[in-house]
Structure 1
Amino acid sequence: MADRRKDVDWSRLFHAEGPASDTPRRLAALLGDDADAFVDGYTHLWSTLRREGKAWPATAPTALLVAELLNDPLLGPDDPSLPDAMLVYLYAVGVAADLGEGAAEVRSRVEVHAGELRAWTDAYLSADAGDRVRMWQDGTGLGELVLDQAALACFDLVPALLPRVLPHLASERARRRTCAAAAVGSLARHPSTSAQRPVLLERLTSMARAAESSYDLATTLIAIDHLGGDTRPWLTHPHAGVRGCAALAPGLTGDDVAERVLRGLAGSPRAFGESFGDVAPPLQFQFRPYRDLLTPEGFLRVDEVGRPTPGSAAT
């Protein structure tokens, strides 16, 4: 990990709190035994490297480091859940990177404005906190285009991230397999993975059939949704949350059973979350737009304009 950190010019990057020169030190703490430093590094990972599902310039190099952490024995040797958290982070990166066929248009805009983006970034990195806030409102739109450029960097990185995640589908730990399934569900939407997708869907469907908990099953079903798979067999599952996640699949638009399930969710979105008991809803519901469904009007919006598709789940 140390060598990778040195390979990146962090002085040219920024995250939600400003310049990313502090990122290497704070990420290194994830492999240390200082509890306070670890908490700081973990908080930094989640609270400063993405914004409402968008990538920052520091996100792509951080994601590559996180992928390498997955198999590092120094990552939480006494807490086997930490690699699970890294997989959830990679799920979020996959969501931010889900540009699909729109990547070509983003790339074109970035290339046309390359010089302006470098100048804007230089000014941003040298500005104080107050001026950085004002730069987002300068009327040029360059700040948002810098974030589009960051998403494009994540998009270009996905083919390198997916192979790091796939082995974890065979983990001995059920929850790690589930977190890996979620990450695969977002990362494998990349156009370069189209040939792999049928095999991955078969693997995820097999995992869903073998899932031992409603949480693991529902999370895996949303991963199948992301890849355009068939979740119809779970529309009549006895667990309400599982039925709801199955019904969100875009391929079931117009299906009478799926529509009844969604109308039921619209009537009581809180019941959906509570159906998982002491466990939180599937991890995808930590992020937009799935997170937005857990409101009184959330599933009503599904009724009005259609269920969220994997594409909308990434915007």
Structure 2
Amino acid sequence: MIGESVNSQPQLSREWFERRALFNSVMTGLVWFAALLGSVPLLSVIFMLVMEGGSRLGWESFSALPPAGFDQGGGFGNAIVGTLVMVAIASAISIPLGVLAAIFLGVLFPHSTTAKVARFVAKTLTGFPSILAGVFTYAVLVVATGYTALAGGIALSVLMLPTVVLAAEEALRQVPQKMSDAAYGMGCTRTQVILKIVLPTALPGVMTGVLLAVAGAAGESAPLLFTALFSNYYISDLMEPTASLSILIYNFSAMPFENQIELAWTASLTLVLIVLVFNILARMIGQPKI
């Protein structure tokens, strides 16, 4: 009887030419083909940057000042420092404001009229042309104070803010309501629930949005043309023109000197690597824990 019951069980073997299996195989192959096709531009750009700019990667390029017209050697250390300083200023402005706005939109008053308007504005700003952020900051700040690192950081914060807000709000919405209800049932206040339960639980998603916003801001050039301009020296004051990698690439790529063109390739490779690192970190932090 036991042998008969075992033999009577259906055989769960895959038929490769069955209609659904064949359709699944074809669609899987098409998806892989599309993914490989989409990666060709990225891989080709990285390959070109490594071939053209990899030879100049070294301590001199990362620490020396930009060379004059006919000089040899040099580097873009001041541009790296300037980029990091302005991204840090933008992060100090956009991250606290973005998280606070996300708490309002996702936890406190998610269905209010103010929240709906703010959410619409944030989504609209994600498609905001970056050069307009520079023009706006120029009209509001640069006209009065001149080209400064602070103005550059403020312009970048305008671009970072909507990304931080929307990513943080979505992360806060993913926190199970049962966790908050349990905390309320134990006598916790709303502030305690937000600070001790909601924010720590949503932290990976919030950090993912922050890192993606930072990576996008690090590669911006148009806003910095109107706000920070450029400098051939290391930054010593936030209220002075400041170098950045994107503007250095823009300037050096148009020069008729081979040394500057090589440095532009190396600076491009450095900028791509910085952005790539931030994107990898965002992917690792946002990976669900099993």
Q: TM-score, normalised by structure 2?
A: 0.27
Q: Higher relative contact order by CA 8 Å / sep ≥ 6: 1 or 2? A: 2
Q: TM-score, normalised by structure 1?
A: 0.26
Structure (1 or 2) with the greater helix fraction = 2
